[in-house]
Protein backbone atom coordinates (compact mmCIF):
# COMPACT_ATOMS: atom_id res chain seq x y z
CA UNK A 1 0.00 0.00 0.00
CA UNK A 2 1.49 3.32 -1.04
CA UNK A 3 0.86 6.71 0.36
CA UNK A 4 -1.68 8.50 -1.77
CA UNK A 5 -1.64 11.77 0.13
CA UNK A 6 1.05 13.19 2.35
CA UNK A 7 0.78 16.45 4.24
CA UNK A 8 4.02 17.95 5.56
CA UNK A 9 4.55 20.98 7.79
CA UNK A 10 1.20 22.40 6.74
CA UNK A 11 0.61 25.83 8.29
CA UNK A 12 -2.52 27.86 7.63
CA UNK A 13 -3.21 31.41 8.76
CA UNK A 14 -6.59 33.10 8.71
CA UNK A 15 -6.73 36.87 8.81
CA UNK A 16 -9.63 38.37 10.74
CA UNK A 17 -10.29 41.98 11.66
CA UNK A 18 -9.03 41.23 15.15
CA UNK A 19 -5.78 39.63 14.06
CA UNK A 20 -4.28 36.56 12.46
CA UNK A 21 -5.52 33.18 13.62
CA UNK A 22 -2.86 30.48 13.37
CA UNK A 23 -5.47 27.85 12.68
CA UNK A 24 -3.16 25.05 11.55
CA UNK A 25 0.42 24.88 12.78
CA UNK A 26 3.03 22.58 11.27
CA UNK A 27 0.81 19.57 10.70
CA UNK A 28 2.15 16.28 9.27
CA UNK A 29 0.21 13.18 8.30
CA UNK A 30 -0.26 10.79 5.42
CA UNK A 31 -3.01 8.67 3.94
CA UNK A 32 -2.43 5.20 2.51
CA UNK A 33 -4.35 3.86 -0.45
CA UNK A 34 -7.70 2.36 0.45
CA UNK A 35 -7.39 3.09 4.13
CA UNK A 36 -9.52 5.25 6.38
CA UNK A 37 -7.81 7.89 8.47
CA UNK A 38 -9.79 9.51 11.25
CA UNK A 39 -8.79 13.02 12.28
CA UNK A 40 -9.99 13.63 15.83
CA UNK A 41 -10.12 16.78 17.90
CA UNK A 42 -12.52 19.25 19.46
CA UNK A 43 -14.09 22.20 17.68
CA UNK A 44 -11.56 24.80 16.65
CA UNK A 45 -8.62 22.40 16.70
CA UNK A 46 -7.99 23.08 13.01
CA UNK A 47 -9.33 19.82 11.53
CA UNK A 48 -11.72 21.34 9.00
CA UNK A 49 -9.33 24.11 8.02
CA UNK A 50 -6.61 21.53 7.34
CA UNK A 51 -8.93 19.70 4.97
CA UNK A 52 -10.04 22.89 3.24
CA UNK A 53 -6.38 23.79 2.86
CA UNK A 54 -5.74 20.46 1.15
CA UNK A 55 -8.70 21.03 -1.18
CA UNK A 56 -7.73 24.64 -1.89
CA UNK A 57 -11.12 25.90 -0.72
CA UNK A 58 -10.04 28.01 2.23
CA UNK A 59 -12.11 31.12 2.86
CA UNK A 60 -10.80 34.23 1.11
CA UNK A 61 -8.98 35.41 4.23
CA UNK A 62 -7.26 32.06 4.76
CA UNK A 63 -3.88 31.08 3.32
CA UNK A 64 -1.47 28.16 3.36
CA UNK A 65 1.69 29.89 4.52
CA UNK A 66 3.98 26.87 4.69
CA UNK A 67 4.17 23.19 3.96
CA UNK A 68 3.34 20.79 1.17
CA UNK A 69 0.41 18.57 0.23
CA UNK A 70 1.80 15.76 -1.94
CA UNK A 71 -0.82 13.95 -4.02
CA UNK A 72 0.44 11.33 -6.48
CA UNK A 73 3.88 12.88 -6.29
CA UNK A 74 2.72 16.43 -6.97
CA UNK A 75 2.50 19.32 -4.54
CA UNK A 76 -1.07 20.63 -4.54
CA UNK A 77 -0.12 23.82 -2.70
CA UNK A 78 1.78 24.90 -5.82
CA UNK A 79 -1.28 24.39 -8.05
CA UNK A 80 -3.11 27.35 -9.53
CA UNK A 81 -6.85 27.76 -8.90
CA UNK A 82 -7.55 26.43 -12.40
CA UNK A 83 -5.34 23.38 -11.90
CA UNK A 84 -6.96 22.73 -8.52
CA UNK A 85 -10.36 22.74 -10.20
CA UNK A 86 -9.35 19.64 -12.15
CA UNK A 87 -8.34 17.90 -8.90
CA UNK A 88 -11.32 18.93 -6.79
CA UNK A 89 -14.22 16.59 -7.22
CA UNK A 90 -12.55 14.25 -9.69
CA UNK A 91 -9.48 13.22 -7.63
CA UNK A 92 -10.28 14.44 -4.14
CA UNK A 93 -13.91 14.95 -3.19
CA UNK A 94 -15.43 16.22 0.01
CA UNK A 95 -18.51 15.48 2.11
CA UNK A 96 -19.56 18.23 4.46
CA UNK A 97 -20.83 18.34 8.00
CA UNK A 98 -24.33 19.71 7.74
CA UNK A 99 -26.47 18.28 4.94
CA UNK A 100 -29.15 20.86 5.78
CA UNK A 101 -26.94 23.69 4.53
CA UNK A 102 -24.43 22.09 2.19
CA UNK A 103 -26.88 21.61 -0.69
CA UNK A 104 -28.05 24.50 -2.84
CA UNK A 105 -31.67 25.05 -1.76
CA UNK A 106 -32.89 26.28 -5.13
CA UNK A 107 -31.33 23.63 -7.35
CA UNK A 108 -32.81 20.21 -8.04
CA UNK A 109 -30.84 17.33 -6.56
CA UNK A 110 -30.22 15.71 -9.92
CA UNK A 111 -28.75 18.93 -11.27
CA UNK A 112 -26.41 19.21 -8.29
CA UNK A 113 -25.03 15.74 -9.01
CA UNK A 114 -24.81 16.38 -12.74
CA UNK A 115 -22.89 19.58 -12.14
CA UNK A 116 -19.99 17.47 -10.88
CA UNK A 117 -20.12 15.25 -13.98
CA UNK A 118 -20.35 18.26 -16.28
CA UNK A 119 -17.19 19.72 -14.77
CA UNK A 120 -15.02 16.63 -15.03
CA UNK A 121 -16.54 14.18 -17.53
CA UNK A 122 -16.76 16.41 -20.55
CA UNK A 123 -17.49 13.55 -22.95
CA UNK A 124 -20.73 12.51 -21.25
CA UNK A 125 -24.01 13.34 -22.97
CA UNK A 126 -26.94 14.81 -21.09
CA UNK A 127 -28.71 11.42 -21.06
CA UNK A 128 -25.61 9.68 -19.77
CA UNK A 129 -25.29 12.25 -17.01
CA UNK A 130 -28.86 11.77 -15.97
CA UNK A 131 -28.47 7.99 -16.01
CA UNK A 132 -25.31 8.28 -13.91
CA UNK A 133 -26.99 10.64 -11.44
CA UNK A 134 -29.87 8.21 -10.95
CA UNK A 135 -27.43 5.33 -10.64
CA UNK A 136 -25.52 7.26 -7.96
CA UNK A 137 -28.72 8.00 -6.06
CA UNK A 138 -29.59 4.33 -5.93
CA UNK A 139 -25.96 3.48 -5.07
CA UNK A 140 -26.19 5.59 -1.90
CA UNK A 141 -29.42 3.83 -1.00
CA UNK A 142 -32.06 6.34 -2.02
CA UNK A 143 -35.30 4.70 -3.06
CA UNK A 144 -37.25 6.02 -6.07
CA UNK A 145 -34.15 7.70 -7.48
CA UNK A 146 -36.00 8.84 -10.62
CA UNK A 147 -38.41 10.87 -8.50
CA UNK A 148 -35.80 12.13 -6.06
CA UNK A 149 -33.74 13.29 -9.01
CA UNK A 150 -36.29 16.02 -9.67
CA UNK A 151 -36.73 17.11 -6.05
CA UNK A 152 -35.30 20.00 -4.10
CA UNK A 153 -33.14 19.49 -0.99
CA UNK A 154 -35.80 20.69 1.45
CA UNK A 155 -38.08 17.85 0.34
CA UNK A 156 -35.61 15.32 1.76
CA UNK A 157 -34.78 14.35 5.33
CA UNK A 158 -31.36 15.08 6.82
CA UNK A 159 -30.12 11.52 6.35
CA UNK A 160 -31.31 11.46 2.75
CA UNK A 161 -29.59 14.74 2.06
CA UNK A 162 -26.32 13.44 3.44
CA UNK A 163 -26.69 10.46 1.09
CA UNK A 164 -27.11 12.94 -1.76
CA UNK A 165 -24.00 14.82 -0.64
CA UNK A 166 -22.10 11.51 -0.65
CA UNK A 167 -23.51 10.71 -4.09
CA UNK A 168 -22.22 14.05 -5.36
CA UNK A 169 -18.78 13.37 -3.86
CA UNK A 170 -18.58 9.92 -5.44
CA UNK A 171 -19.86 11.00 -8.84
CA UNK A 172 -16.44 11.04 -10.51
CA UNK A 173 -14.93 8.09 -8.62
CA UNK A 174 -12.46 10.15 -6.59
CA UNK A 175 -9.29 8.54 -5.23
CA UNK A 176 -9.62 10.37 -1.93
CA UNK A 177 -12.81 11.22 -0.07
CA UNK A 178 -12.61 13.76 2.71
CA UNK A 179 -15.62 13.59 5.01
CA UNK A 180 -15.88 16.53 7.41
CA UNK A 181 -17.94 15.31 10.37
CA UNK A 182 -20.42 13.59 8.04
CA UNK A 183 -22.61 12.32 10.87
CA UNK A 184 -22.46 15.09 13.48
CA UNK A 185 -25.61 16.86 12.32
CA UNK A 186 -27.67 13.68 12.02
CA UNK A 187 -29.84 11.66 14.38
CA UNK A 188 -28.01 8.89 16.17
CA UNK A 189 -29.90 6.15 14.31
CA UNK A 190 -29.10 7.77 10.96
CA UNK A 191 -25.44 8.21 11.92
CA UNK A 192 -24.86 4.45 11.94
CA UNK A 193 -26.57 4.09 8.56
CA UNK A 194 -24.36 6.73 6.99
CA UNK A 195 -21.20 5.16 8.44
CA UNK A 196 -22.25 1.74 7.17
CA UNK A 197 -22.90 3.28 3.77
CA UNK A 198 -19.47 4.86 3.68
CA UNK A 199 -17.81 1.58 4.64
CA UNK A 200 -19.71 -0.35 1.96
CA UNK A 201 -18.95 2.24 -0.67
CA UNK A 202 -15.27 2.21 0.21
CA UNK A 203 -15.18 -1.54 -0.41
CA UNK A 204 -16.89 -1.08 -3.78
CA UNK A 205 -15.00 1.97 -5.00
CA UNK A 206 -11.58 1.42 -3.37
CA UNK A 207 -11.48 5.02 -2.25
CA UNK A 208 -9.20 6.28 0.50
CA UNK A 209 -11.10 8.19 3.16
CA UNK A 210 -10.18 10.90 5.61
CA UNK A 211 -12.96 11.26 8.13
CA UNK A 212 -13.02 14.17 10.52
CA UNK A 213 -14.89 13.59 13.72
CA UNK A 214 -14.90 14.34 17.39
CA UNK A 215 -16.81 11.18 18.08
CA UNK A 216 -14.50 8.37 19.18
CA UNK A 217 -17.31 5.87 18.56
CA UNK A 218 -17.11 6.77 14.88
CA UNK A 219 -13.35 6.33 14.98
CA UNK A 220 -13.56 2.83 16.45
CA UNK A 221 -16.26 1.98 13.93
CA UNK A 222 -14.61 2.98 10.71
CA UNK A 223 -10.97 4.08 10.99
CA UNK A 224 -7.74 2.21 10.24
CA UNK A 225 -5.51 4.93 11.60
CA UNK A 226 -6.09 7.98 13.77
CA UNK A 227 -4.61 11.48 13.89
CA UNK A 228 -5.40 13.57 16.95
CA UNK A 229 -5.35 17.35 16.62
CA UNK A 230 -5.29 19.92 19.35
CA UNK A 231 -4.89 23.70 19.19
CA UNK A 232 -3.95 23.67 15.50
CA UNK A 233 -1.26 21.00 16.09
CA UNK A 234 -1.21 17.31 15.42
CA UNK A 235 -0.44 15.78 18.81
CA UNK A 236 -0.65 12.06 18.18
CA UNK A 237 -1.02 9.70 15.26
CA UNK A 238 -1.07 5.94 14.94
CA UNK A 239 -2.93 2.74 14.27
CA UNK A 240 -6.46 2.77 15.66
CA UNK A 241 -5.85 -0.22 17.99
CA UNK A 242 -2.62 1.31 19.21
CA UNK A 243 -4.29 4.60 19.99
CA UNK A 244 -7.17 3.04 21.87
CA UNK A 245 -5.01 0.56 23.74
CA UNK A 246 -1.95 2.64 24.40
CA UNK A 247 -2.66 6.38 24.12
CA UNK A 248 0.53 8.37 24.66
CA UNK A 249 -0.51 12.02 24.63
CA UNK A 250 -2.27 13.32 27.71
CA UNK A 251 -4.95 14.90 25.51
CA UNK A 252 -5.70 11.58 23.80
CA UNK A 253 -5.89 9.97 27.20
CA UNK A 254 -8.33 12.61 28.32
CA UNK A 255 -10.45 12.11 25.21
CA UNK A 256 -10.63 8.36 25.75
CA UNK A 257 -11.44 8.82 29.42
CA UNK A 258 -14.31 11.09 28.58
CA UNK A 259 -16.21 8.38 26.68
CA UNK A 260 -19.13 7.41 28.91
CA UNK A 261 -19.05 3.75 29.74
CA UNK A 262 -22.25 1.85 30.31
CA UNK A 263 -20.78 -0.58 32.82
CA UNK A 264 -19.38 2.11 35.11
CA UNK A 265 -22.66 2.91 36.72
CA UNK A 266 -23.04 5.86 39.00
CA UNK A 267 -19.84 7.54 37.89
CA UNK A 268 -19.99 11.13 36.78
CA UNK A 269 -19.27 11.90 33.16
CA UNK A 270 -15.63 12.77 32.85
CA UNK A 271 -14.54 15.88 31.06
CA UNK A 272 -11.26 17.62 30.38
CA UNK A 273 -11.43 20.83 32.38
CA UNK A 274 -10.72 24.14 30.65
CA UNK A 275 -11.02 25.37 27.10
CA UNK A 276 -8.75 25.07 24.04
CA UNK A 277 -6.11 27.77 23.52
CA UNK A 278 -6.83 30.96 21.65
CA UNK A 279 -5.14 30.49 18.27
CA UNK A 280 -4.91 34.25 17.78
CA UNK A 281 -2.21 34.10 20.43
CA UNK A 282 -1.14 30.46 20.66
CA UNK A 283 1.01 29.30 23.60
CA UNK A 284 4.65 28.92 22.70
CA UNK A 285 4.90 25.55 24.38
CA UNK A 286 2.66 22.52 24.12
CA UNK A 287 -0.88 23.71 23.25
CA UNK A 288 -2.34 21.37 25.84
CA UNK A 289 -0.03 22.48 28.65
CA UNK A 290 -2.64 24.74 30.24
CA UNK A 291 -5.14 21.89 30.66
CA UNK A 292 -2.83 18.96 31.18
CA UNK A 293 -2.60 17.32 34.60
CA UNK A 294 1.05 16.45 34.13
CA UNK A 295 2.31 19.83 32.91
CA UNK A 296 5.99 20.43 33.43
CA UNK A 297 7.91 23.68 33.19
CA UNK A 298 9.32 22.63 29.84
CA UNK A 299 5.82 22.06 28.44
CA UNK A 300 4.99 25.72 28.93
CA UNK A 301 8.16 26.92 27.23
CA UNK A 302 8.93 24.57 24.37
CA UNK A 303 7.01 22.70 21.72
CA UNK A 304 7.62 18.95 22.12
CA UNK A 305 9.08 16.93 19.23
CA UNK A 306 7.43 13.74 17.99
CA UNK A 307 8.56 10.61 19.79
CA UNK A 308 7.90 7.05 18.67
CA UNK A 309 5.75 5.13 21.08
CA UNK A 310 5.08 2.05 19.00
CA UNK A 311 5.27 0.94 15.40
CA UNK A 312 4.01 3.84 13.29
CA UNK A 313 2.70 5.50 16.42
CA UNK A 314 3.98 9.00 17.20
CA UNK A 315 3.13 11.53 19.82
CA UNK A 316 4.33 15.04 20.62
CA UNK A 317 4.62 15.08 24.41
CA UNK A 318 7.45 15.99 26.73
CA UNK A 319 6.51 13.17 29.08
CA UNK A 320 7.88 10.75 26.48
CA UNK A 321 11.26 12.42 26.71
CA UNK A 322 13.80 10.34 28.63
CA UNK A 323 14.60 13.37 30.77
CA UNK A 324 11.05 13.45 32.14
CA UNK A 325 11.83 11.63 35.34
CA UNK A 326 9.09 13.24 37.27
CA UNK A 327 6.60 12.06 34.63
CA UNK A 328 5.15 8.64 34.26
CA UNK A 329 7.22 7.57 31.26
Residues that bind another protein (CB under 8 A): 18, 52, 55, 57, 60, 81, 84-90, 93-94, 96-98, 101-107, 115-116, 118-120, 152, 154-155, 165, 168, 273-275, 277-278, 280-281, 289-292, 294-303, 305, 318, 321, 323-327
Degrees to nearest 5, angle at CA 18 with 101 and 44? 45
For another protein, give the closer residue by CB, 56 or 141.
56
Identity of the residue, 97 or 237, whose beta carbon is nearer to another protein in the bound complex: 97
Indicate the residue among 278 and 312 with the shorter CB distance to another protein: 278
Shortest distance in whole angstroms from residue 240 CB to another protein: 27
Distant-in-sequence, close-in-space partners of 301: CB < 8 Å, separation ≥ 6: 284, 285
Q: Which residue's CB is nearer to another protein, number 119 or number 256?
A: 119
By the 8 A CB rule, do 287 and 232 touch?
A: yes
Minimum separation from the CB atom of position 296 to another protein (A): 5
- Supply the minimum distance, in Å, between the C-beta of residue 84 and another protein: 8
Q: How far is the CB of 298 from another protein (least distance, A)?
A: 4
Q: Closest separation between CB of residue 293 and another protein, Å?
A: 9
Using CA atoms, how far apart are residues 178 and 133, in angstroms rounded to an integer?
A: 20
Residue 188 or 271: which CB sits closer to another protein?
271
Are 110 and 130 in contact by the 8 Å Cβ rule? The answer is yes
Count of Cβ atoms closer than 10 Å to residue 158 Cβ:
15
Q: Give the integer Cα–Cα distance in Å for 127 and 307.
A: 55
Residues 104 and 213: their CA atoms lie apart, in Å, by 24
Contact between residue 317 and residue 295 where contact means Cβ atoms under 8 Å apart: no
Amino acid sequence: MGKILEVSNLTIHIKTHKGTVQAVRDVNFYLNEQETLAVVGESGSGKSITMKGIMGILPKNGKVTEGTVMYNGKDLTKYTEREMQTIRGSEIAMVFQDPMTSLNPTMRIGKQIEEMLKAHKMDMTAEQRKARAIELLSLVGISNPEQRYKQYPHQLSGGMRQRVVIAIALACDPKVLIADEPTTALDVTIQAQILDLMRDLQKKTKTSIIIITHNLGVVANIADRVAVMYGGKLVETGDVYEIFKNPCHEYTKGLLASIPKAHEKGNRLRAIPGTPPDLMDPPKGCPFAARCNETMVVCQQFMPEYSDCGSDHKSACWLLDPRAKGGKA
